[in-house]
Amino acid sequence: MEHLSKYIENKNFILWVFLPDEELEEWWSQFEIEHPEEKRNILLARKVLLKFRTRNKELTEEEKIVLFARVLKQIEEKEKSSNSRFLVFTFLRYAAVALLFFSVGALLFYKQNQFNPQFISQKLSEPIPENSAKLIRANGEDIILNHEKSILKYQADGKLVIDNDTIRNNEIKPDRQMAMNQLIIPYGKTSELQLPDGTKVFLNAGSRLVYPENFTGKSREVFLVGEAFFDVKHDKQHPFIVQTNDFRVKVLGTRFNLCAYPTDNVVETVLAEGKVSMEKNDGGVFEKAIELLPNQLASFNRTTKETKIKAVDTDNYILWTEGLLKFESTDLSRITKRLERFYNVRFQYAEPLLGGLRISGKLQLKEDFNEVCERVARAASVKINKKGDGLYEIAR
């Protein structure tokens, strides 16, 4: 039973149980394939959480505690362990977690003010398309973006300019609680966006940004799926917050890159200028925020839940905004993953170990794809052969 806490206290797992979407289903399905030994723990953790779903009434605090205890007892009866002291310790640990959970509220082990539920509904409402980039406006209007790199800019008068064309002001229905837009960029395309507050966002391929029509309240908050570089407009009175499935990054005015693709096991934040504070969405009440200084990288592993900080050359992480890909002693698999997203292609390896080859160099992403492949092949001493429509094989 000691292995259940990493799921019961994991926000992504909780969202998968109660609010599943295509991205979460894909991530957890892949996780089960890679970790077959965890299937039993995952099943038990799901049963624990689903026990708290009620139908007709709101439970009192006492009823919730009793229900939680019954759930633990059911699991305890299924566990095969002769160490009674361990079982008592584990039970008390979960009882303490239950008391904390029920006293804090209904957002399941993470702070209620950490996550805007409006972002969840927006994220679920529209999958990332395969070909066309689009802007879904708060009034429900869809605007197809035809350029390889679309440029969107909110002017001081509230008007939106897309690729030099002025778009009419957005008419928001009065019953909408929060006017949210979604900028959705598929593989093979990128976008540059200037938000209403003057903050510039460079959105990479296969990414999504959810943001309000206008920033109101004490903070400026957006939601990111994928990768983006932020050049935040300084406003001491209104901190800028980037929310992801795993972290919330809080800044006043700074420049940083955030890579949080759902299919990647690692979330990376690189600070180029200023200072950022990072907090886990499922962090405990007493868990401290992580602070980054310029030229530092914070790497969060979704499996181990560990965050490592190290000094880096920021050019290796932000030059993609200028159509360049720079890398130093980087796994070939990481390079090809970025190329897959930028060119909307797919690579496969004739030998799995080839993905671990480390190479260094710089690529002009605006060049012809075949020429880019030749450069990569020379650097890694491999061959890259086309196998089908958009499919390439890497072999010796």
Q: What is the CATH number of the domain that holds 118?
A: 2.60.120.1440
Q: Are residues 127 and 105 in the same domain?
A: no
Q: What angle do CA 327, 353, 345 make, to 5 degrees?
A: 60
Q: Are residues 296 and 361 in the same domain?
A: no
> What pLDDT score was predicted for residue 53?
54
Query: For each successive 10 residues of the chain (396 residues), what is the average pLDDT?
Result: 64 76 83 86 77 51 54 52 46 48 40 49 52 86 90 88 78 53 92 95 94 88 94 93 89 92 91 92 65 94 90 95 94 95 94 93 91 95 93 95
Q: Are residues 139 and 280 in the same domain?
A: yes
Alpha-carbon distance of 357 to 26, in angstroms, equals 27
CB atoms within 10 A of CB 16: 22
Of 93, 109, 125, the last residue of a domain is 109
Of 299, 315, 331, the last residue of a domain is 315
Q: Are residues 94 and 31 in the same domain?
A: yes
> What pLDDT score was predicted for residue 317?
95
Q: Are residues 101 and 118 in the same domain?
A: no
Q: Are residues 283 and 329 in the same domain?
A: no
Alpha-carbon distance of 113 to 107, in angstroms, equals 9
Alpha-carbon distance of 243 to 26, in angstroms, equals 21
- By the 8 A CB rule, do 135 and 129 touch? no
Q: Domain limits at 349?
A: 323-395
Q: Are residues 135 and 52 in the same domain?
A: no
Of 315, 331, 351, the last residue of a domain is 315
Report the domain count for the chain: 3
- By the 8 A CB rule, do 11 and 282 touch? yes
Rounded to the nearest 5 percent, the helix, strand and coil shares of the chain are 30, 30, 35
Alpha-carbon distances of 185 from 205, 266, 290, rounded to whole Å:
6, 21, 29
Q: Are residues 165 and 278 in the same domain?
A: yes
> What pLDDT score was predicted for residue 41?
84
- By the 8 A CB rule, do 223 and 209 touch? yes
Q: Are residues 310 and 328 in the same domain?
A: no
Q: Are residues 137 and 101 in the same domain?
A: no
Strand partners, 231: 200, 255
Q: How many residues are present in the chain?
A: 396
Which CATH number goes with the domain that contains 353? 3.55.50.30
Q: Are residues 247 and 287 in the same domain?
A: yes
Mapped onto helix, strand or coil, the DSSP state of residue 348 is strand
Q: Are residues 302 and 331 in the same domain?
A: no
Alpha-carbon distance of 309 to 184, in angstroms, equals 30
CB atoms within 10 A of CB 309: 15
What is the token pair recorded at 241? 């917050």
E strand or H helix at 337, and its extent? Answer: helix 332-343
* End-to-end Cα spacing for the chain: 46
> What pLDDT score was predicted for residue 351?
92
Strand partners, 391: 346, 388
